């Protein structure tokens, strides 16, 4: 008689002796084999002793209870700890927490696109699993049709749904492309605030031409007032982006791009460069501070009394590469500073080809009438 294994023997066997265990399935066709019968040899038992495990044996039920407890514990860990940690990041996604009309429209567009994608992906995954389960080899009730090749109903569904989705997306993209055009001014009952933006290495310069002040790495704007940005770069290409207020747009040397945004709620919103521009790129951040109009007017008055001024010499010093530059305010700005930055990188008119063309035209003999 072989010694009956205890629960502790099975536990040791499951962890230590399983690689040495012999598993045998009962004979017969593959679909008739009983996979619930396990025969093993445990090193802790007498040599040659075998014990048969079946679903009715106490040893099998003990293992099942332990497995059930382990899976329950694993589920509590996953859904009680990992899942809340993963979902907590959603509150940190600035694109899904808009503070302006443009950003709110863009969030709606993102959610609509996500919904359409899920409307396609989820049914495909569900049908894949359903078909795999229904037409498995052991399901004798499923229809077996090896000569089936075509179905007009399936063809209609397969082609009509994508066509409807494409038409819907085409109309949506056409309308939102024109509605969210960054060059399109925002309609409002108040005059916009003009801001000239210069991307430097690795900092942002904001010039307020209507107020004669400038800031570095800090953008002050009034709420419920359109902000008209003119953007350029004094170095490599960058991308100006305030996620909670709206669209991103590139800043390029020798060129001027435009952007129109508005903030509906007072607060401090992070801004950044979303295009890699060198070793100081990771520190190229700024704060957009939205405040009521009366506070903004008080800020402008305070900025006009700042001790520093942004003349040409100060700008030359400021444009030198630096990282993690602290915010600064300048009381005065050199006239035409923004235009001079743009013109610095514009190519001079090429008069060589024009001169050659005029000389060639002069050398062509005229015909006598």
| Residues 195/227, Cβ–Cβ less than 8 Å | yes
pLDDT tens, residue by residue, 237-250:
999 999 999 999 99
Residue 89 confidence (pLDDT): 47
Helix (H) / strand (E) containing 317: helix 312-318
- Nearest Cα to 278, choosing from 233, 315, 323? 323
The Cα–Cα gap between 268 and 107 comes to 19
pTM: 0.67
Residue reference for tokens 């129109």: 260
pLDDT in tens, 137-175: 899 888 888 888 889 998 998 899 999 999 999 999 999
- Per-residue pLDDT reduced to its tens digit, 9-51: 333 333 333 333 333 333 444 444 444 434 334 444 444 444 4
HSE (CB half, 13 Å, CA atoms) of 356? 4
> Of 196, 195, 198, nearest to 319 (Cα)?
198
Dihedral sign for Cα 163, 164, 168, 174, please. positive
Give me the residues paired with residue 328 across strands: 216
Domain with CATH 2.60.40.420 in the chain: 193-344
Taking alpha carbons only, the member of 6, 16, 17, 7 closest to residue 41 is 17
Burial class (CB in 10 A: 0-12, 13-18, 19+), 290: buried
Helix (H) or strand (E) holding 39: strand 38-40
The 8-class DSSP code of residue 57 comes to S
Extract the residue ranges of the chain whose pLDDT is less than 50.
Answer: 1-53, 55, 59-60, 63-64, 67, 70-71, 74-75, 77-79, 81-89, 91, 353, 355-357, 359, 361-369
E-state strands within 124-266: 193-200, 203-208, 213-216, 218-222, 227-233, 238-241, 249-251, 257-261
Domain 193-344: which CATH number of 2.60.40.420, 2.60.40.10, 2.60.200.20, 1.10.260.40: 2.60.40.420
How many Å separate Cα 61 from the centre of its chain?
Answer: 48
């Amino acid at each position: 008689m072989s010694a009956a294994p205890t629960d502790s023997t099975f536990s040791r066997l499951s962890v230590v002796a399983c690689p040495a265990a012999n598993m045998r399935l009962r004979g017969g066709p593959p679909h008739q084999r009983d996979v619930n019968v396990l025969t093993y040899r445990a090193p802790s038992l007498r040599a040659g002793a075998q014990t048969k495990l079946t679903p009715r044996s106490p040893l099998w039920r003990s293992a099942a209870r332990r497995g059930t407890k382990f899976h329950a514990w694993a589920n509590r860990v996953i859904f009680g700890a990992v899942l809340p940690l993963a979902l907590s990041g959603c509150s940190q996604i600035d694109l899904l927490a808009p503070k302006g009309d443009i950003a709110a429209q863009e969030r709606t567009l993102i959610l609509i696109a996500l919904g359409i994608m899920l409307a396609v992906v989820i049914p495909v995954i569900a049908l894949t699993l359903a078909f795999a389960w229904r037409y498995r080899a052991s399901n004798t009730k499923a229809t077996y049709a090896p000569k089936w090749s075509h179905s007009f109903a399936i063809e209609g569904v397969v082609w009509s749904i994508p066509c409807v989705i494409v038409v819907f997306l085409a109309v949506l993209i056409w309308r939102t492309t024109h509605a969210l055009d960054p060059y399109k001014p925002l309609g409002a009952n108040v005059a916009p605030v003009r801001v000239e933006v210069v991307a430097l290495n690795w900092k942002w310069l904001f010039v307020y031409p209507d107020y004669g002040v400038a800031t570095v790495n800090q953008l002050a704007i009034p709420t419920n007032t359109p902000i008209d940005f003119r953007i350029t770069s004094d170095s490599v290409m960058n991308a100006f982006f305030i996620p909670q207020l709206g669209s991103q747009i590139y800043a390029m040397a020798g060129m001027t791009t435009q952007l129109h945004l508005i903030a509906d709620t007072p607060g401090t919103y992070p801004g950044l460069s979303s295009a890699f521009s060198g070793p100081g790129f990771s520190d190229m951040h700024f704060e957009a501070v939205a405040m009521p109009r009366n506070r903004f007017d008080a800020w402008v008055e305070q900025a006009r009394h700042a001790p520093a001024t942004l003349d040409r010499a100060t700008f030359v010093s400021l444009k030198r590469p630096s990282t993690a530059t602290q915010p600064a305010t300048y009381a005065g700005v050199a006239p035409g500073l923004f235009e001079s930055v743009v013109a610095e990188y514009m190519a001079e008119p090429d008069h060589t080809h024009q001169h050659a063309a005029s000389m060639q035209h002069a050398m062509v003999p005229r015909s006598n009438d």
